[in-house]
Amino acid sequence: MKKDYYNILGVNKEATQDDIKKAYREKAHKFHPDKSGGDEAKFKEINEAYQVLGNPDKRAQYDRFGTAESFGGPQGGPAGFDFSNFDFNNVEFDLGDIFSDFFGGGNSKRGHKVAQRGRDIGVSLEISLEEAFKGIAKELELRKLVRCMHCKGDGTEPGTGKIKCKTCEGVGELKKTQRTFFGVFSQTAVCPTCQGEGQYPEQACKDCSGEGRVRKIEKLSIPIPAGIETGGVLRIHGKGEEGIRGGEAGDLEIKVNIKEHELFERDGADLYSEIGIPFDMVVFGGNAEIKTIDGKVDLKIPAGTESGAIFKLAGKGMPYSASRRGDQYVEVYIRTPKKLSSKAQKALKEIAGEL
């Protein structure tokens, strides 16, 4: 991994720390995966470069060895940087800071944000079999982009208006004419300043820097329906990330995993369990208490029941509609006595010939 960090940030080797910081902000803003035209891979690369060049000590090391792979090499430099698990959500920088250059004055050369759908969010949730049986409302805390309350998602500072785009004069697109040897070609392109809207906020909202959304922890109560199977996916419309400037919110997708249960195995709506019963009960018959997912029932064990016999408890399985449940199947095994008094041993030996 030979990477030219200067090249990645678009600065030269003489750049001051301020130049580097500025270049980083510009690029991080441009390629942030939350934005239109964002690029996660690029964004990681930019952050990787800034981790090194933004730190004078690391930068000096880098300058000396030329490449990042020299780090931790035979020269005994500091440990290498592993960005393979880099989480861009945890990158610490102030979005407002980045945007301040961007929206300042309203005559920026770069594009303003237009409405855009928010991203979907996927999470997984683990519940118990009992919870899957009853259905449950699960509380969830999600750190995500939510609507900015200050501007109500519009991105415009309250009390200020919108101004006509100066680049395209409100048309939303630009015509480019090129004279070549073969003739005159003209091309229209979406205006990069207003992104085709023809106007932009006179003053970007102070709280969200014009995005119309801010990152916050949102508490959600997720209704998990009774009978859900492991791997089941719930899709909640509009609970993903808020869209940019009032754009539609993404969806929240929750994958539900059900924990292994110590007593039950599940196959669709049916449950399987085992019961160990004493030797005399299989011989003479009797009542065995069986645990079900929602209580217990008495199961009549007929005299002469064999080990491995399976009994069906109708309607004691998992729900699969509002009023219907699967069944529970109970496999009987004989509990062999481990400790017997000498009296019992003697009696058993006496009758052993009959068994």
Q: Closer to Zn ion at the Cβ: 168 or 228?
A: 168
C-alpha to C-alpha distance for 91 and 29, rounded to whole angstroms: 12
Among 153, 137, 318, 121, residue whose Cα is nearest residue 239: 121
* Position 151 contacts Zn ion (CB under 5 A): yes
* CB burial string 195-219: b at 16+ within 10 A, e below: bbbbebbebbbebbbbbbbbbeeee
Pair 283, 303: CB distance under 8 Å: yes
Among 168, 249, 290, 332, binds Zn ion (CB under 5 A): 168
Pick one of 20, 194, 271, 293: the residue that binds Zn ion (CB under 5 A): 194
**Contact between residue 292 and residue 316 where contact means Cβ atoms under 8 Å apart:** yes
Q: Specify the residue, 217 or 352, whose C-beta has the smaller distance to Zn ion.
A: 217
Nearer to Zn ion, 201 or 317 (CB): 201
Distances (CA, A) of 200 to 11, 39, 88, 163: 30, 24, 28, 6
204 binds Zn ion per the rule CB under 5 A: no
73/186 Cα distance (integer angstroms): 54
**Residue 208 interacts with Zn ion (CB under 5 A): yes or no:** yes
282 binds Zn ion, rule: CB under 5 A: no
293 touching Zn ion, by CB under 5 A: no
Instruction: Look at residue 22 and give its three-state secondary structure.
Output: helix
Q: Which is nearer to Zn ion, 9 or 191 (CB)?
A: 191
Q: Which of 121, 127, 165, 277 is in the footprint of Zn ion by CB under 5 A? A: 165
- Cβ atoms of residues 256 and 231 within 8 Å: yes
Size of the site for Zn ion (CB under 5 A): 12
Distance CA 52, CA 9 (A): 11
20, 121, 191, 282: residue in contact with Zn ion (rule CB under 5 A)? 191
Q: Does 205 bind Zn ion (CB under 5 A)?
A: yes
User: Could you say which residues in the range 19-48 bind Zn ion, by CB under 5 A?
Assistant: none
Cβ nearer to Zn ion, comparing 205 with 290: 205
Of the pair 155, 319, the CB lying nearest Zn ion is at: 155
Q: Which stretch binds Zn ion (CB under 5 A): 30-38, 168-176, 239-247, 288-296?
A: 168-176
What letters, b where the CB count within 10 A reaches 16 and e where it falls short, cover 94-109?
ebbebbeebbeeeeee
**DSSP state at residue 247:** P
Q: In angstroms, give the least distance from the CB of 143 to Zn ion.
A: 18
150 binds Zn ion (CB under 5 A): yes
Single out the residue of 167, 203, 292, 305 in contact with Zn ion (rule: CB under 5 A). Answer: 167
Which chain residues interact with Zn ion by CB under 5 A?
Answer: 148, 150-151, 165, 167-168, 191, 193-194, 205, 207-208
